[in-house]
Structure formats: structure tokens, C-alpha cells
């Protein structure tokens, strides 16, 4: 089978997507994607579920995860690929990230009540706390259900994002180290995009990447649904300059985000970019796959 599309960045109901892992696999096949990765936030459970249901003639699959990180310089999303899911290091990072995520959810619910007077039924709160990795979209949907907002987007932008939580975050060096020690490849997701509407370009982006490389960063998401041609060119230029691996992802979240599965802005009908070729070689897929 000739591979014409890949997508290495998507989310399921294990984090903040609206499709189950089973539905993800079905939609990947319908979209004609030949290689994909499930990268749920602070979780590897969904990737394990995909592994269990894959058949011999299904698209190629690479285990993934995305860790929300922060340090004194800003926020980062670190993708991890090809790790050993039984590794203690990756599991420790997942447990740490999950615990911090749950702390943030509880803090947001408390602050929504104290700041805006929003009181939620106990059964709704328990349902959110029972989720694998709840986040802003889940709280936003609950606000709509309880009549506190007209839409999830309004709930997030006008209320949830207005409350500031002084919380402990997973540090990028911790995530990178955990991925590496479990045999995986740490990659910086959508590098030009920081916190909120923050856009990081030029020397600031290069400085940010070099600092993460000191921790062991191996790659950058060079192709991404949200890039303009200029942002894509800049990201690929930095990756080439420092010999970093390159990945391509849509950041698909189902109905929680206006992104189409497989929309990576990568054209595989021509020459495969060198950084991506090296990524595929290192993960063992280059020799298995035939490209158009």
C-alpha cells in the first residue's frame, strides 16, 4: 500500500477528544491515513487500547503521548513517540502529569464557584473527576449543560481562562527525561505556539528549542494544521539547522476543535523531508512503508 498521508498528533476520549480510540482507528482508515499516532494528554492508556484492536491490514501505528509542561520560561507541549509502554519512567511521568491535571480541575471548579458563583450538581462533578484526563473542554461542556454559558467556547474564553491557578506543572526536562529513559523520542509540539495566543518566532523560538535540546529534545513538529507557510518554513529551518527530527500532526480533537483528521499540511507525493525521513527510520517505519 502506498502511503500518502500520515498524522502523528491526535486525541481521544482518554484526554480531551470526543472520539474513542476505537472510533479514532475507524476514522483514520476512512481518511486514508497510512501511519498515525494517538497522543492523548498526560496519558498512554488510549495508545494501549489502539494496540489491542489493531489488525494486520490496519494502518501503521506509533504509540504516542503529549505532556503539558511549564517552567520559568513558559509553557510547552512535549510529544513522546515510540516509548516502551511498560517502562517505569514513562509511567511515572504519566502519573505525575495526571495528578497535576486533576489538581487543576479541582482548583478550577472551586474558583468558578468563588469567583462567579457557579454551583454544579455533585453528580456532574463526580462524572468529571471520574474521567481519565479531564480538562477545560469538559468543564466548559458542564457549564453549558448547567446553563452558565451558551457554548463551550464562551465558557472557556469568558470564564475558565479568566481564573488563574497557582499550581505546580510538569517541567519539560522531567517529561523529556521520562520519554528518553523509556526508549522514546521527545518532540516539541507546535513550537511557535506558547501559552494562550502567545506566538514565539525568530530568535526567541530558536533559544527556546536550544534550551530544550539541552534536556534531550530530539525533534520538532514541523508540519501542523495551525501553521501558516511562514511558520512552517521557520520551524523546518530551525529543525534543519540543529539536526532535529521532524514530525507531522493535525492535533485532531474530534468535535472539541475545528481541526480535520489528517490535516498536517504535509504533501507526501513529493520528496519526504529529511527530518521526517530520519524520524521514520529511527522508529522503524521507513523500510516497512512505501510512499507515493
State pLDDT tens for residues 112-133.
999 999 999 999 999 999 888 8
Residue 215 is predicted with a pLDDT of: 98
Query: Of the ranges 57-61, 145-149, 267-271, which one carries the lowest mean pLDDT score?
Result: 267-271
138 pLDDT above the threshold of 70? yes
CB contact at 8 A, 78 and 109: no
Question: With contact defined as beta carbons under 8 Å apart, do 144 and 138 qualify?
Answer: no
Among candidate residues 262, 264, 256, 263, the one with its CA nearest the CA of residue 19: 256
At 167 the pLDDT is 66
Other residues' Cβ atoms within 10 Å of the Cβ of residue 75: 15
Phi/psi at 112 (5° precision): -65, -35
In terms of C-beta density within 10 A (0-12 exposed, 13-18 middle, 19 or more buried), how is residue 83 classed? buried
Asked whether the beta carbons of 74 and 194 are under 8 A apart, the reply is yes
For residue 91, name the pLDDT band (cuts at 50, 70, 90): very high
- The pTM score is 0.90
Distance of alpha carbon 31 from alpha carbon 58, whole angstroms: 12
pLDDT of 171 reads: 95
Query: Would the pLDDT of 273 be above 80?
Result: yes
pLDDT at residue 42 in the model? 93
Torsion-angle region of residue 82: left (phi > 0), alpha (psi -120 to 50) or beta? left
Q: What angle do CA 241, 259, 251 make, to 5 degrees?
A: 45
Domains of the chain (ranges plus CATH)?
Answer: 2-86+171-291 (3.20.20.140), 96-162 (1.10.150)
Per-residue pLDDT of 48-64, as tens digits, reads 999 999 999 999 999 99
Q: What percent of the chain has pLDDT over 90?
A: 79
Q: Which of 69, 77, 59 shows the shortest CA–CA distance to 7?
A: 59
Residue 259: pLDDT band with limits 50, 70, 90: very high
Q: Residues with Cβ < 8 Å from 2, sequence gap 6 or more?
A: 34, 290, 291, 292
Mean pLDDT of the chain: 93
Amino acid at each position: 500500500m502506498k502511503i500518502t498521508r500520515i498524522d502523528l498528533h491526535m486525541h481521544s476520549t482518554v484526554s480531551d477528544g470526543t472520539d474513542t480510540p476505537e472510533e479514532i482507528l475507524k476514522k483514520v482508515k476512512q481518511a486514508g491515513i497510512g501511519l498515525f499516532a494517538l497522543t492523548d494528554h498526560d496519558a498512554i492508556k488510549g495508545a494501549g487500547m489502539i494496540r489491542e484492536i489493531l489488525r494486520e491490514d490496519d494502518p501503521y501505528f506509533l504509540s504516542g503521548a503529549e505532556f503539558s509542561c511549564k517552567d520559568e520560561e513558559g509553557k510547552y507541549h512535549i510529544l513522546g513517540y515510540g516509548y516502551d509502554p511498560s517502562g517505569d519512567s514513562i509511567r511515572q511521568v504519566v502519573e505525575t502529569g495526571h495528578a497535576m491535571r486533576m489538581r487543576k480541575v479541582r482548583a478550577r471548579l472551586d474558583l468558578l464557584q468563588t469567583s462567579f458563583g457557579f454551583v454544579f450538581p455533585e453528580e456532574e462533578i463526580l462524572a468529571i473527576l471520574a474521567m481519565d484526563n479531564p480538562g477545560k473542554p469538559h468543564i466548559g461542556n458542564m457549564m453549558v449543560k448547567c446553563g452558565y454559558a451558551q457554548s463551550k467556547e464562551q465558557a472557556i474564553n469568558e470564564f475558565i481562562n479568566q481564573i488563574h491557578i497557582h499550581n505546580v506543572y510538569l517541567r519539560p526536562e522531567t517529561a523529556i527525561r521520562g520519554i528518553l529513559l523509556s526508549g522514546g523520542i521527545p518532540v516539541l509540539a507546535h513550537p511557535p505556539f506558547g501559552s494562550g495566543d502567545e506566538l514565539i518566532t525568530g530568535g526567541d523560538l530558536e533559544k527556546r528549542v536550544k534550551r530544550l535540546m539541552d534536556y534531550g529534545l530530539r525533534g520538532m513538529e514541523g508540519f501542523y494544521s495551525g501553521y501558516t507557510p511562514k511558520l512552517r518554513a521557520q520551524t523546518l529551518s530551525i529543525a534543519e539547522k540543529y539536526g532535529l527530527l521532524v514530525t507531522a500532526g493535525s492535533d485532531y480533537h474530534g468535535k472539541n476543535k475545528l481541526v480535520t483528521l489528517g490535516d498536517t499540511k504535509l504533501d507526501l507525493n513529493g520528496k519526504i523531508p529529511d527530518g521526517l525521513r530520519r524520524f521514520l527510520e529511527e522508529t522503524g517505519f521507513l523500510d516497512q512503508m512505501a510512499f507515493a
